[in-house]
């Protein structure tokens, strides 16, 4: 039975449930290495530290693959300030009532802990299946993997053919709370899914979740402007520039697709 918890914003209710692994996806696992003893990460959650070993995909500003680096390396401010750029994705999942599923990131997260954001945000990894650029299939596979990891949404509920790839944004941001260590510098693929799904929340990744309509999201944005809550920078950018227009056009998103341009918000 789902438990109700405060969403940390007035008039918001959230749902949480215990996370149980299902044998639907085999997770990519990484062995810890000497970098795991790095003093930079010694005070962080062990599970989140292990995930910093994941091999992300390095790209240039045209989103052309130029190499690979660990998630930790990609998020170090020193590397970001030297121009290291990696590929990412953001999923916006709507139910049959056209309500958007939001999450609050776990306090265990190393980057942007406790912040409110869209349904799921992460990175395709440097493996053949997730490097596949045809129809953004690699990014879609990564999104399917992370929706299961974070929210327990099994792949049979969200087959790859229902992901709609709309556009890409490039942005840069320092960690919140500011720590002088980490940040983001990404080319972010925006994916939309319309599906009623069952959730089984992984508390190491997600603190709480809630479906919102447009008015409720506007309330959250107003709360963020007054400093009552903090949104992730990518979510704030997408809300400000794109989301409400997409929301109004959910019945025909194809005409809103822009696969040619990368919208640059780094300046």
What would the 3-class secondary structure string for 158-215 be? Answer: CCHHHCEEEEEEEEEEECCCCCCCEEEEEEEEEEEEECCCCCCCCCCCEEEEEEECHH
Known catalytic residue at 186: yes
pLDDT band at 66 (very low <50, low <70, confident <90, very high): very high
Q: Is residue 196 scored above 70 in pLDDT?
A: yes
Q: How far is CA 257 from CA 132, 163, 262, in A?
A: 19, 12, 12
Distance CA 25, CA 20 (A): 13
User: What digits encode the pLDDT tens for the residues 237-246?
Assistant: 999 999 999 9
Where is average pLDDT lowest: 50-54, 69-73, 158-162, 222-226? 222-226
Question: Which is more confident, 228 or 132?
Answer: 132
Indicate the pairing of strand 116-117 with strand 100-105. Answer: antiparallel
User: What digits encode the pLDDT tens for the residues 151-195?
Assistant: 999 999 999 999 999 999 999 999 999 999 999 999 999 999 999
Q: Is residue 32 scored above 90 in pLDDT?
A: no
To the nearest whole percent, how much of the chain has pLDDT over 90? 84
Q: In this predicted structure, what is the pLDDT of residue 20?
A: 41
Distance CA 197, CA 58 (A): 32
Average pLDDT of the residues of the chain: 89
Q: Is residue 7 scored above 50 in pLDDT?
A: no
Q: How far is CA 134 from CA 59, 99, 122, 155, 190, in A?
A: 16, 29, 19, 20, 15
Known catalytic residue at 150: no
Chain centroid to Cα 254, Å, comes to: 22
pLDDT band at 5 (very low <50, low <70, confident <90, very high): very low
Contact present, 201 and 152 (Cβ < 8 Å): yes
Q: Is residue 36 scored above 90 in pLDDT?
A: no
Closest CA to 140 of 113, 126, 153, 158: 158
Q: In this predicted structure, what is the pLDDT of residue 39?
A: 85
To the nearest whole percent, how much of the chain has pLDDT over 70? 86
Closest CA to 44 of 179, 231, 233: 179
Indicate the pairing of strand 100-105 with strand 65-70. Answer: unpaired
pLDDT, mean of residues 90-108: 98
Tokens describing residue 166: 């709309």
pLDDT, mean of residues 13-39: 43
Q: What is the pTM of this model?
A: 0.88
Q: Is residue 8 scored above 60 in pLDDT?
A: no
Contact present, 106 and 95 (Cβ < 8 Å): no
pLDDT, mean of residues 241-266: 96
Distance CA 110, CA 185 (A): 15
Contact present, 20 and 200 (Cβ < 8 Å): yes
Provide the 3-class DSSP secondary structure of residue 231. Answer: strand
Q: In this predicted structure, what is the pLDDT of residue 78?
A: 97
User: Which one from 186, 205, 208, 239 is the annotated catalytic residue?
Assistant: 186
């Amino acid at each position: 039975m789902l438990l109700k918890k405060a969403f940390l914003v007035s008039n918001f209710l959230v749902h949480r449930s215990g996370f149980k692994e299902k044998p639907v996806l085999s997770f990519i696992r990484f062995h810890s290495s000497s970098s795991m003893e790095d003093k930079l990460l010694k005070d962080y959650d062990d599970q989140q530290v292990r995930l910093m070993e994941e091999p992300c995909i390095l790209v240039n500003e045209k989103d052309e693959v130029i190499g690979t680096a660990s998630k930790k390396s990609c998020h170090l401010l020193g590397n970001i300030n030297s121009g290291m750029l990696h590929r990412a994705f953001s999923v916006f999942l709507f139910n049959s009532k056209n309500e958007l599923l939001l999450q609050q990131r776990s306090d265990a997260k190393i980057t942007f802990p406790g912040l409110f954001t869209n349904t799921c945000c992460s990175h395709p990894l440097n493996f053949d299946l997730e490097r596949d650029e045809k129809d953004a299939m690699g990014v879609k596979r990564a999104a399917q993997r992370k929706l299961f990891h974070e929210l327990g949404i099994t792949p049979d509920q969200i087959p790859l053919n229902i992901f709609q790839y709309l556009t890409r944004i490039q942005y840069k941001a320092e960690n919140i709370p500011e720590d002088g260590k980490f940040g983001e510098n990404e080319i972010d693929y925006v994916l939309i899914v319309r599906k009623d799904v069952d959730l089984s929340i992984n508390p190491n990744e997600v603190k709480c979740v809630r479906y919102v309509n447009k008015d409720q999201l506007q309330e959250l944005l107003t709360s963020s402007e007054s400093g009552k809550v903090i949104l992730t920078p990518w979510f704030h950018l997408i809300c400000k520039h794109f989301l409400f227009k997409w929301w109004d056009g959910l019945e025909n998103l194809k005409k809103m697709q822009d696969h040619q341009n990368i919208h640059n918000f780094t300046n």
